[in-house]
């Protein structure tokens, strides 16, 4: 085993008498230092063995516990933020889908022409993509009424849905001309 170990000069018990405040390695009077690798240990007559570096001592149980509590609160807050982001994204997607389905119905009524445009007799149940089968979360209805001026009709398309946050509704209005 080829291990380097150095020791300092002997303790200088009479350092004050000779006017020196430390030994040749810089240790205070009455102490000696042993250098072994990267670690420095101070030998003091009154205290005994003492590690001199904070890194060498490690962390106490209390410090570790406090760090874990802070980490736990941070992760709990981060998870709540993520849940909120997912819910906001879902609501945004539903409002966008509802607006697109309402716009699609207005375009369908324009394509049928002025004379054939009529109000809905029943409410349609639709998915986010506009399909009538599957998980239908939207209900769509529309009204077509004579406009304020001759040769126009007022079209109102309403989409509604309910979820954990309550009932929501998107309504689009447009005019069809002759």
Compute the distance between CA of residue 15 and CA of residue 90 in angstroms, rounded to an integer.
78
Residue 164: what pLDDT? 86
> Does residue 66 surpass a pLDDT of 90?
yes
| Shared domain check, 110 and 173 | yes
| Shared domain check, 95 and 31 | no
What average pLDDT does range 146-169 have in this prediction?
Answer: 93
Residue 64 lies in a domain: no
Residue 84 lies in a domain: no
Compute the distance between CA of residue 126 and CA of residue 139 in angstroms, rounded to an integer.
6
Residue 59: what pLDDT? 87
Residue 52 lies in a domain: yes
| Shared domain check, 93 and 151 | yes
Which residues on adjacent β-strands are paired with residue 174? 155
> Where would I find the H helices in 19-174?
54-57, 61-112
| Shared domain check, 159 and 113 | yes
| Shared domain check, 121 and 43 | no
> Does residue 156 surpass a pLDDT of 90?
yes
Compute the distance between CA of residue 143 and CA of residue 158 in angstroms, rounded to an integer.
9
- How far from 32 is each of 12, 37, 51, 60, 88, CA to CA, in Å? 9, 16, 13, 27, 66
Residue 119: what pLDDT? 94
Residue 75 lies in a domain: no
Taken in order 96, 102, 105, 111, is the CA torsion positive or negative?
negative
Whose CA is closest to 8, among 38, 52, 41, 46? Answer: 41
What average pLDDT does range 79-105 have in this prediction?
Answer: 95
Taken in order 16, 22, 24, 30, is the CA torsion positive or negative?
positive
Residue 73 lies in a domain: no
| Shared domain check, 170 and 130 | yes
Instruction: Round to the nearest angstrom and report the end-to-end CA distance of the chain.
Output: 102
For 48, the domain range is: 6-57
Compute the distance between CA of residue 80 and CA of residue 127 in angstroms, rounded to an integer.
28
pLDDT band for position 28 (cuts 50, 70, 90): low
Residue 121 lies in a domain: yes
Residue 88: what pLDDT? 93
> Does residue 72 surpass a pLDDT of 60?
yes
Looking at the structure of the chain, the number of domains it has is 2
| Shared domain check, 120 and 171 | yes
> Does residue 141 surpass a pLDDT of 50?
yes
Residue 1 lies in a domain: no
pLDDT band for position 167 (cuts 50, 70, 90): very high
pLDDT band for position 96 (cuts 50, 70, 90): very high
Average pLDDT value over all residues in the chain: 80
> Does residue 51 surpass a pLDDT of 90?
no
> Does residue 136 surpass a pLDDT of 80?
yes
Residue 120 lies in a domain: yes
What average pLDDT does range 124-141 have in this prediction?
Answer: 92
Edge-to-edge strand ranges of the sheet holding 124-126: 124-126, 138-146, 152-163, 166-177
Q: Which residues in 105-116 are b (16+ Cβ under 10 Å) and which e? A: bbeebeeeeeee
Identify the residue whose tokens are 């979360």.
137
Global pTM value: 0.60
| Shared domain check, 100 and 32 | no
pLDDT band for position 178 (cuts 50, 70, 90): confident
The least confident of 20-34, 66-80, 153-167 is 20-34
């Amino acid at each position: 085993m080829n291990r380097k170990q150095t020791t300092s000069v002997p303790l200088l018990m009479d350092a004050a008498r000779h006017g020196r405040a430390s030994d040749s390695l810089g240790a205070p009077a009455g102490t000696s230092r042993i250098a072994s690798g990267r670690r420095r240990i101070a030998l003091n007559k009154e205290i005994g063995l003492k590690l001199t570096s904070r890194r060498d001592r490690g962390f106490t149980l209390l410090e570790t516990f406090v760090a874990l509590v802070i980490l736990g609160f941070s992760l709990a807050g981060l998870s709540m933020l993520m849940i909120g982001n997912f819910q906001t994204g879902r609501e945004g997607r539903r409002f966008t889908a509802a607006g697109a389905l309402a716009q699609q119905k207005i375009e369908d009524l324009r394509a049928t022409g002025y004379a054939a445009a009529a109000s809905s007799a029943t409410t349609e149940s639709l998915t986010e993509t506009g399909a009538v089968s599957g998980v239908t979360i939207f209900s769509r209805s529309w009204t077509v009424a004579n406009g304020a001026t001759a040769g126009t009709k007022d079209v109102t398309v309403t989409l509604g849905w309910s979820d954990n946050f309550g009932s929501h509704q998107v309504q689009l209005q447009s005019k069809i001309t002759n």
